[in-house]
Chains A and B, each alone.
Chain A
Amino acid sequence: MGDEINLVEKSRIMNSASIKRALSRLASEIVESNQGAENLYLVGIRRRGVPLAEVLAKNITQLEGIAPLFGILDITLYRDDLSTVGANPVVNRTELNEDIEDKNIILVDDVLYTGRTIRAALDQLMDFGRPNRVQLAVLVDRGKEHRELPIQADYIGKTVPTKRSEIIKVMLKEFDDVEAVGIFERPTE
């Protein structure tokens, strides 16, 4: 995915305030569907899923008075495109310090697009144990027509119909200067 240069921003679809609101709604939905924060295990997918999962965990703690378990997945070694992406990408740590056995896992990522990242995350998760159930929370869903695998999100911040040529960028203060979601496109020559 890298940091593309020469991208033109077509429109901004979320700002800092709307991201915040979406995340507090998602936290409520997660708690409601799981009947509380007990047994709940939030797992952020590197990179941008991690700070989003952190905010969700904080929101859930405020709502319920119990902190959910928290972990990080790096799916690099589980990708299905390793030999096609050029030089192998940098691997980072997976941190699942608490046992996932029988937990209710909420995978958190920034954008749901083809579904391949989530497939890799699920494969990796299963190597760590047998959770009670796994659900998916994303800030932006680019729409079902792009899906290459039968995967959908249980909690969605915003659904944004996009073209294949477009790129959704979730910018977070941990990695970027601003906090926003924008639709970008490569300039046509």
Chain B
Amino acid sequence: MDKNFQRKDLLGIRNLSADEIKTLLQTADTFRDVSRREVKKVPALRGKTVINLFFENSTRTRTSFELAAKRLSADAVNISVSTSSVAKGETILDTAMNLDAMAPHIIIVRHGSAGVPHQLAKVSRASIVNAGDGSNEHPTQALLDAMTIKEHKGEILGLNVAILGDILHSRVARSNVHLLTKLGATVRVAGPNPLVPNDFCGLVNNGLTICPTIEDALENADVVMVLRIQKERMNDAFFPTMREYSIYYGLTKDRLKLAKSDAIVLHPGPMNRGIEIASDVADGSSSLILNQVEYGLAVRMAVLYLLSGGNENKEQ
């Protein structure tokens, strides 16, 4: 029996071992069934409290975590920044400590700045789950992407994965690059020059290649991940116009032909149709975008389940 996941918090993929990732994915696989049943609820986390603390907008991730908690019979509370005391000037740490005093078991945090969940993890007794911190990490997204890939490709080991778009600002890309290289995939990233760092997560030559054009990255790919152009983070002139971006970097049907004929297409959502991904690709037979959402729920159930298992006095 492997009990390979015994952490207090889930802050990122970077520090996880391949075994821990596999345990998470394996557990998630069994939780998929729960959402396919007539009664979509099991009593595993009865009496536990889960708080969703979101300082950034989110529909998919917040709903997914909330449903995951509810389907495990935990009580879920949502706090969004517009209604919180942070709007009245309270610091994040004070907010977190006050929430912690109400003795929740798990706090799920999304924040626009990197490292916020890590800071909260130091002061709170509750387990902290990072639901996205700035451009740093988004671990459950990488896990659900991995689950989608595994489900459709069998194994992650040996696959060619292309990640396209705004690599620089993408926590999704960071978490995915860590996860996929740990499990033995070859990852190629490409996008507009100013949005692709020369080295990324220190992983170049360690399973990661930076490609000059997206055509290079797509060549022979098994999996194509398209990232969202994050208009909210585009303060500088990284590329001239959205129109130009879609012409040079958008994933179109023709470009997708460079990948393997059975390649799958992923997008973390929300999509900018016609910009980073053409509508006929997003709705096409290679697209698994809605499967990702289904697996996301299972992954988050697995995370909540594993974190709530007798994790007191455990060191991170």
Contact = CB atoms under 8 A, between A and B. Distances in A.
Q: Which of A76, A79, A89, A90 has the largest count of B CB atoms less than 10 A from its CB?
A: A90
Q: How large is the interface on B (under 10, 10 to 19, 20 to 34, 35 or more residues)?
A: 20 to 34
B33 A94 contact: yes
B316 interface: no
Interface string B34-72: 100111011111000000000000000000000000001
A169 B71 CA distance: 34
Contacts of A3: 1
B306 A77 contact: no
Contact of A88 (B30, B34, B309): B309
Interface in A66-117: 74, 76-79, 82-94
Interface string B294-316: 00000000000110111100000
Given A78-B44, A93-B30, A128-B39, A88 B306 contact: yes
A88 B106 CA distance: 15
Contacts of A90: 1-3, 26-27
Contacts of A74: 30
A77 B309 CA distance: 11
Interface residues of A, number: 25
A78 B41 CA distance: 10
A10 to B, nearest CB: 25
A76 B27 CA distance: 12
Contacts of A82: 44-45, 308-309
A86 B37 contact: no
Contacts, number: 68
Nearest to B73: A77
Contacts of B2: 90
Interface string B131-151: 000000000000000000000
A87 B311 contact: yes
B249 interface: no
B144 to A, nearest CB: 17
A98 B45 CA distance: 27
Contact of A89 (B1, B39, B45, B311): B1
A88 B310 contact: yes
B231 to A, nearest CB: 40
A86 B309 contact: yes
Contacts of A92: 30
Interface in B1-40: 1-3, 5-6, 26-27, 30-31, 33-34, 37-39
Contact of B43 (A88, A93, A94, A123): A123
A2 interface: yes
Interface in A148-164: none
A92 B306 CA distance: 13
A87 B33 contact: no
A127 interface: yes
B305 A88 contact: yes
Interface string A1-18: 011000000000000000
A175 to B, nearest CB: 12
Contacts of B39: 127-128
Contacts of B309: 82-83, 85-89
A77 B31 CA distance: 10
A92 B33 CA distance: 10
Nearest to B40: A127
A100 to B, nearest CB: 11
Interface in B254-305: 305
A188 B21 CA distance: 40
A91 B305 contact: yes
A91 B33 CA distance: 11
Interface in B207-229: none
A87 B37 contact: no
Contacts of A83: 308-310
A91 B27 contact: yes
A129 interface: yes
Nearest to A84: B310
Q: Which of A3, A85, A94 has the largest count of B CB atoms less than 10 A from its CB?
A: A94
B310 A129 contact: no
Contacts of A2: 1
A88 B42 contact: no
Given A91-B27, A91-B30, 9 more contacts: A74-B30, A77-B305, A78-B43, A82-B45, A83-B308, A87-B3, A87-B5, A90-B2, A127-B41
Interface of B: 1-3, 5-6, 26-27, 30-31, 33-34, 37-39, 41-45, 72, 305-306, 308-311
